Amino acid sequence: MDSLTQIVLGAAVGEVAVGKKVGNWAILWGGVAGTIPDLDVFAKYFTDNVTALEIHRGFSHSILFSLIFAPIFGWILTKIHKKLDATWKDWTLLMFLGLFTHPLLDAHTTWGTQLFWPFEYRIAYKNIFVADPLYTLPFLACVIALMFYKKESFKRKRINQFGLIISSFYMLLTVGFKWLAYPKFINTLNKEKIEYLEVKTRPTPLNSILWSANVKLKDGFITGYYSLLDKQEDVIYSKFIPQNLHLLGNMINEKKVKQLIKISEGWYTLEEREGKLLLNDLRFGQNGIDAENSKFIFSFELKYNDKGEFEVIEQPRTFKQGGALIGSLFERIKGI
């Protein structure tokens, strides 16, 4: 999930751990703990962009990371706050809850997380978008409100519990919405007698009403959208999107290409656009609901430079593209 959401969740579980003993310090350090796993994004400053993507949500998002570093961070906090009524065990519990709930939350998103690192299996339930205001904003309001009550206050405890309950309830709702949307995609495929290998569904940006599906066929993919507000039963699928594996040629042997294929979990296409050879990661969709004319959000140019060195250049994403995507999505949410 986005950084704000992780801070809010970390703050809430920090309050559960030691709020009664240390007051708002629990919220502060819980928020810090909820942020720490995402520091793996700084890997991009020490390695190439493809390896950095591969590292993201790996070790720092694992159970092992939480078990190793919670006691260390807990010891540091005991040295910082010697006068507070909290023991090393208290601070260790706070740090563990903050570190561990972070990947648990991320597991519900499209990217998922390697919770059981060093095993490479990535858990991704794909039932909530990486940023969803309906999950975050009520939760944030509760965390802010409880800060104005004394640490011993019964109301403070109740407000925090309420924030945790409503956010968890909404998360369960998104699971239910996914369960409702999935059969719609499958029923249309069966009705139109489309032979498919696999179907992946996910919510579209900033909501849990409009769902999208990637459908893997023999040599390519089709995509579709379904809103819970749709009046018609059948999903309208895009035209066939060829995978175009032949475009790779000898590039298939390049290490970074193999990494990208691994990262995309096989959900990728190749295309020639504007004189560039692009590898598109289908899992995160396009900057519009028109599959034929929209660019993919995660796209990488593959090329050999003038020195004959192989390069992977991630294509930039602009605010204008994001605005166009949000506009088209919210229009589609209304249903057809």
The answer, yes or no, to whether residue 25 has pLDDT greater than 60, is yes
Using an 8 Å Cβ cutoff, are 179 and 51 in contact? no
* Whether the Cβ atoms of residue 286 and residue 233 lie closer than 8 Å to each other: no
**Among residues 285, 183, 197, which one has the least CA distance to residue 230?**
183
232-269 residue pLDDT tens: 999 999 999 999 999 999 999 999 999 999 999 999 99
CA trace torsion 301, 305, 311, 314 (10° rounding): -40
pLDDT at 291 over 70: no
Residues 124/109, Cβ–Cβ less than 8 Å: yes
**What is the structure's pLDDT at 209?**
97
- What would the pLDDT profile of 168-191 be if each residue is shown by its tens digit? 999 999 999 999 999 999 999 999
Q: Where are the domains of the chain?
A: 3-174, 192-336
Which residues face 270 on adjacent strands?
279
Distance CA(266)–CA(186), nearest Å, equals: 20
DSSP structural state of residue 123: B
Residue 27 pLDDT greater than 80, yes or no: yes
pLDDT band for 319, please (50, 70, 90 cuts): low
Per-residue model confidence as pLDDT tens digits over 116-167 = 999 988 999 999 999 999 999 999 999 999 999 999 999 999 999 999 999 9
**Does pTM surpass 0.95?**
no
**Angle subtended by helix axes 154-191 and 3-22, to nearest 10:** 150
Task: Give the orientation angle of helix 24-35 with respect to helix 3-22, to 10 degrees.
Answer: 150
